[in-house]
Amino acid sequence: MPAKTVISYPHMGSYSAVLEQLLGRLFPHATILTPPPITQKTVELGGRHSPDFVCSPFKYNLGNYIEGLEAGANLLFQSGTGCRYGYYGELQEQILRDMGYNFEFACLARRSARPLPLLARLWQLGCPLPAHKVAAAFHMAICSIRAVDSLENWIRENVGFECVPGSCDALHGRLLNKISCAQSQAELRETVAVCKKDLRKIKLDIPQNPLRVGIIGEVYTLMEPSSNFNLERQLAEQGASVTRAMSIWFLMFGRDNALSLRRTGGYLRYTVGATGVDSVSQSLDYARRGYDGVLHVKSFGCIPELNAGPVLTRLSHREGIPILPLSFDTHTGELGVKTRIEAFVDMLRMRKGV
């Protein structure tokens, strides 16, 4: 490793704050470089150097890596399990080396993400902490993820009804800033307590029977707002209460393939890969809880979600819940997506009679 380690990683929604905190604790003598916010330049960089038909998370991540390397990063982190995402690291590393970049690449996916290989790799990369302090850093990161997911669940359900525009965003920003630089569990607990107190102060004007929309689909495209044109906020601006069960907390602690398969109510008999079964089980749950509609979000070419598609169509007809499929790639136009969402919400309002 070079004398001064500069660490970077790809964006994934609000979890960049947690990664900044975690990596800062694991590598206290390194500089943690969060890549610039994802822009059209990021997308173009990633798309230009990626295989044509690879799914869009690969391209977004590659764009993040290039911008991080250009900003001075010399150690990149990648992680992922469940689908092709877990195999992206090796190919991304080779592409970046072919482009002439000199760096260390830590791909903590699949077997290398297990506790003992992970610990060995962290020590190899220069982490000076003993095993128990590494475990404490990860535990703190998990608590931070819980705090982020809890707040964001509340925000997506209520932000469309805030009396003072920007109240939810301000609170969200403060939480992420505090998490990114939190140094102890006590500091994190204090941050969460203050956040909950401020949450109760936000004034809402919720109609008696608001429009409720569930969102399902592929993990990255759901969690990274720049990859879906911030569709959750688009729905909120049209007065919809939005629910999304898929999150990092759900993937770590709430997911059970066998249980999800049973919760599909017979619509699926076998797993279809990654989170495809969860998309079906969550859609059925939304239908039976009286939600007005569902958005099925995926990156172009995502095989597990393509497998779930015909099942979701059958479920939509039988359960009487509209499901709008939305496929995203680096070539997807924002205006077209916005038009489809507006038309979908208008249709839901007509069905609901509001």
Which residue is listed with tokens 């932000």? 159
CA atoms of 6 and 57, how far apart (whole Å) = 23
Query: Around Cβ 15, how many Cβ atoms within 10 Å?
Result: 22
pLDDT value of residue 114? 85
DSSP 37: P
pLDDT value of residue 275? 85
140: tokens are 């703190």
Of 167, 346, 152, give the one whose Cα is nearest residue 239. Answer: 346
CA atoms of 34 and 38, how far apart (whole Å) = 11
pLDDT in tens, the chain (354 residues): 556 899 999 998 899 999 999 999 999 999 999 888 999 999 999 999 998 888 888 999 999 999 999 999 999 998 876 667 777 888 899 999 999 999 999 988 777 778 899 999 999 999 999 999 999 999 999 999 999 999 999 999 999 999 999 999 999 999 999 998 888 889 889 988 999 899 999 999 999 889 999 999 988 899 999 999 999 999 999 999 999 999 888 888 877 878 888 889 889 888 887 888 999 999 999 999 999 999 999 988 777 888 888 999 999 999 999 999 999 988 888 899 999 999 999 999 999 877
Domains of the chain, residue spans: 6-129, 130-206, 208-354
CA atoms of 187 and 189, how far apart (whole Å) = 6
Residues in Cβ contact with 195 at an 8 Å cutoff, skipping those fewer than 6 apart: 147, 151, 171, 174, 175
Residues in Cβ contact with 219 at an 8 Å cutoff, skipping those fewer than 6 apart: 82, 85, 246, 251, 274, 275
Contact 323, 315 (CB under 8 A): yes
pLDDT value of residue 1? 52
Burial class (CB in 10 A: 0-12, 13-18, 19+), 346: exposed
CA atoms of 234 and 209, how far apart (whole Å) = 19
Question: What's the fold here for domain 6-129?
Answer: Rossmann fold (3.40.50)
Of 243, 162, 168, 167, give the one whose Cα is nearest residue 205. Answer: 162
Which residue is listed with tokens 């239908």? 287
Written as one letter, the residue type at 11 is: H
CA atoms of 80 and 274, how far apart (whole Å) = 11
Instruction: Kindly give the pairing relationship between strand 211-217 and strand 104-109.
Output: unpaired
Question: What's the fold here for domain 208-354?
Answer: Rossmann fold (3.40.50)
Residues of the chain by 3-state class (helix, strand, coil), percent to 5 = 55, 15, 30
Residues in Cβ contact with 124 at an 8 Å cutoff, skipping those fewer than 6 apart: none
Question: The whole model's pTM is what?
Answer: 0.90
CA atoms of 118 and 142, how far apart (whole Å) = 16
CA atoms of 315 and 282, how far apart (whole Å) = 11
